[in-house]
Amino acid sequence: MHYEIKGEPMPVVICNLDAGEKMITERGSMVWMSPNLKMETTAGGFGKALGRMFSGESIFQNIYTANNGNGMIAFASSFPGSIRAIEITPDKPVICQKSAFLACTEGVELSVFFQKRFRAGFFGGEGFIMQKLSGSGIAFVEIDGSAVEYELKPGQEMIVDTGNLAIADSTVSIDICAVGGFKNTLFGGEGIFNTVVTGPGRITLQTMPLSQFAQSIASCLPHSSSD
């Protein structure tokens, strides 16, 4: 499979498949394809379907297969930002934000990931549940806004505003810390908690989480008044 990512800030990934190759997506993200791509919708087993549902995806998978020769299929992002291609190997699963998964090659498995530390999930802003990509293959993940990557050394920490952590290696530890100080909490505009990520491992941060974007738009809308 060869791919090309084009068109930021509304990106699309165009995948060119060899005969018999498959692409898998959890939702209606296909935007165009060659006529020899055959689609099959499956739940893939109750346990896996339930895990995908808890991780923010559909319980069903759409599997596209190139029949009778090579084929082409394109998947588009659902929000202005970027698409990242991640190579998944059995020894290097990846954790990503809820609903970040776009599509993958056959061999990549999407499952639910529970934070090891309950308070990190409960107060971390994006919920207790994240997505885990494991197995072997290429996965395409959506980033809200622009993406900035850092390689953390063992023990190296970074404080991240709530919702800005998009992707992390499974070796990265995720926790939360209080902003601290009554005035900072009440008037600082940064919320009550921040996320703390600790290496080793690579993290990808996003500049405009969908939740923050929605809040910004809502604050600009006129408030309805009742007579």
Mean pLDDT of 70-83: 93
pLDDT band at 119 (very low <50, low <70, confident <90, very high): low
The beta-strand segments (E) located in the chain are 2-6, 12-17, 22-25, 30-33, 37-42, 61-66, 71-76, 81-88, 94-96, 101-105, 108-114, 129-135, 137-144, 147-152, 157-160, 165-169, 173-178, 193-198, 201-206
What does the block give as tokens for 10? 């509304």
- Measured CA to CA, the distance from residue 16 to residue 76 in angstroms comes to 15
Other CB atoms within 10 Å distance of the CB of residue 117: 13
Residue closest to 160 by CA, chosen among 218, 209, 93 = 209
Q: Mean pLDDT throughout 33-41?
A: 96
Distance of CA 191 to the CA centre of its chain: 23
pLDDT-derived band at 108, boundaries 50, 70, 90: very high
CA distance 130 to 121: 9
Q: For the chain, how many residues are written?
A: 227
Given a cut of 80, whether residue 36 has pLDDT beyond it is yes
Q: Tokens in use for 155?
A: 């023990």
- The residue that leads in pLDDT, 15 or 44, is 15
Backbone angles phi, psi at 122, to 5 degrees: -70, -40
- Strands across the sheet containing 137-144: 37-42, 61-66, 22-25, 101-105, 137-144, 81-88
Is 69 or 47 the better-scoring residue by pLDDT?
Answer: 69
- What pLDDT is recorded for position 184? 41
Domains of the chain: 2-220 (3.60.160.10)
What's the confidence (pLDDT) of residue 204?
96
Q: pLDDT tens for residues 174-200?
A: 887 776 544 444 444 445 678 899 999
Residues of the chain above pLDDT 70, percent:
72
Share the mean pLDDT of the chain: 81
How would you list the strands of the sheet with 193-198, edge to edge?
Answer: 157-160, 193-198, 173-178
Phi and psi dihedrals of 209, rounded to 5? -60, 145
pLDDT at position 30: 94
Q: What is the pLDDT of residue 98?
A: 81
- Which tens digit of pLDDT belongs to each residue from 43-66? 764 445 555 555 555 667 899 999
pLDDT at 209: 77
| Residue 227: pLDDT band with limits 50, 70, 90 | very low
Q: Report the distance separating Cα 45 and Cα 33, nearest Å.
A: 27
